[in-house]
Chain A
């Protein structure tokens, strides 16, 4: 599939050290604004299917609201708590103050 950049939100819509939920078609994602920039991951925690939307961002780590599982936002790596499966991440670019995420290597 060719590059598929999706307009997710405006840069001003996500507070720094915070995230928002972004739904696209059947899928749901999280868009993060960290001190290291914007990132995107799958919406649901890999542990028990809780949406990370209400999770807490600290630095570049997202903590799941249900059992405090933690993931590294840029890489999706599972860091601790009850989670052991990494979170899927997506490339992000900023253009004209909009945040785009790339779903082209998304097989689903």
Chain B
């Protein structure tokens, strides 16, 4: 090689660097604080406190009180010896000892330090160190209460309401709480990042085609046609229709504000077998722990209408939650990143200001803005709607849900994008139209109509 050639090479390289702009790009931006800050007294925190949230798995609560953190509040969860649940402020109203060191009694919890006994509603029942009938004991009983929140046990999950008690909402009942033959197993998926990052993924059907392309099945890797829908501005859908051979696979993900999510199954279908309104892999809530952590509490749903029973194991549910096991080496995470890597990689709280949303992010833009509207309305004194407004006319208070897989035998060429689009819409129309029905009648009506599309 001559010197001249070398010189040309290096000159050319230099010329090619002109478009590099790292030095001029700012590094960080602001998060959407209005949606990421959930502690006491914040607007979003006030909003989230108007709803029931799962806060623990029942079987994991032992005979000792358990310290937990929810919405930035340190709380003590316990079951007293008569089987009642309590969720109370961490610190004793006497001299601030932590009730996590207390003991569960027949009626309530007793503080370790001076033995004050509190009922599950925070009433002071005993002040054993004070003389019986003393004025100071009477004074305490009249004036002091331990902060407490209502708890409800439901099918292996403990739900709590952290809002103002005169605004206590009805506990929302979704149709997937009771599907014949479905085995529901509670699980918890922890994330070291803000709740919004985790929630976003449910209305982001594009990510499944990339992040999860090899994790579930080949069909997941098909981008398909994506549509977004909403329902009474309380529920948002991302629906993807993909071609798999002679079939069209329509997968519907749903988000009911503020944080309830369902999707299609993880393993029940790969798009090659027909399936009609197969139900969600999980029935799931994304609950803020504090602004830099959250937990997805859910039931994994197993059986003919859900994921195969063989996945009803701790590992199986980790795969359902994020496509990979939770506890992996860095090398494994790099080789095959799951949802945890995607969302935690954004940082503990993403700097949303530096995002650039595209048409595939419409679902995210839609629901975030609706959250902002509800939050602002609440600040002005207008309480946010409850999920119950989605219950159909004839199904009492049960909320019909949509998260599902439908695989229809509709042959066509890969290029027929319009066919994918129209099938997507037809499936959604069938689901919307069945809102007035409930339970089995709704399922049967939906399934019959879906079959008729073939």
Physical interaction between A and B? yes
A50/B365 in contact, CB under 8 A: yes
The CA of A48 and the CA of B362, in the complex, are separated in Å by 12
Chain A residue nearest in CB terms to B370: A54
A19 CB to closest chain B CB, in angstroms? 10
| Contact flag A55-B373 (CB < 8 Å), given A50-B362, A66-B361, A67-B357 | no
Contact with A along B363-379 (1 / 0, CB 8 A): 00110111011000000
Q: Assess whether A65 is in contact with B365, with CB atoms less than 8 Å apart.
A: yes
Distance (whole angstroms) from the CB of A18 to the closest CB of chain B: 7
A50: which B residues are within 8 A, CB to CB?
359, 362, 365
B contacts with A: majority SS: helix
Query: In the complex, what residues of B have CB within 8 A of residue A48's CB?
Result: 358-359
Contact between chains at A54 and B369 (CB < 8 Å): yes
Q: Let me know if A55 and B369 touch, CB within 8 A.
A: yes
Q: What's the tally of chain B residues with a CB closer than 8 Å to chain A? A: 13
Q: B residues within 8 A CB of A54?
A: 365-366, 369-370
In the complex, are the beta carbons of A65 and B373 less than 8 A apart?
A: no
Quick check: is A79 within 8 A (CB to CB) of the other chain? no
Beta-carbon nearest neighbor of B382 in chain A: A15
A56/B362 in contact, CB under 8 A = no
> A5-40, CB under 8 A of B: which get 1 and which 0?
000000000000010000000000000000000000
A 50-70 to B, binary, CB cutoff 8 A, 1 in contact else 0: 100011100000000111000
State A97–B357 Cα separation when bound (angstroms). Answer: 38
Most-contacted residue by chain B among A49, A54, A55, A67 (CB, 10 A): A54
Instruction: Check A66 against B373 for contact (C-beta < 8 Å).
Output: no
A56 pairs with B357, CB closer than 8 A: no
Instruction: Say whether B356 faces chain A, with CB atoms less than 8 Å apart.
Output: yes
A18 engages B365 (CB within 8 Å): no
Q: Which residue of A lies closest to B356 (CB)?
A: A67
On chain B, the residues within 8 Å of A55 by CB distance are 369
Interchain CA distance A67-B358 in the complex, whole Å? 9
How many angstroms between the C-alpha atoms of A56 and B357 in the bound complex?
16
> 19 A-B pairs, CB-CB below 8 angstroms?
A18-B373, A50-B359, A50-B362, A50-B365, A54-B365, A54-B366, A54-B369, A54-B370, A55-B369, A56-B369, A56-B373, A65-B362, A65-B365, A65-B366, A65-B369, A66-B357, A66-B358, A66-B362, A67-B356
B interface residue numbers (CB < 8 A to A): 356-359, 361-362, 365-366, 368-370, 372-373
Which 5 pairs across A and B sit closest by C-beta, in order of nearness?
Answer: A65-B365, A54-B366, A65-B369, A54-B369, A66-B357
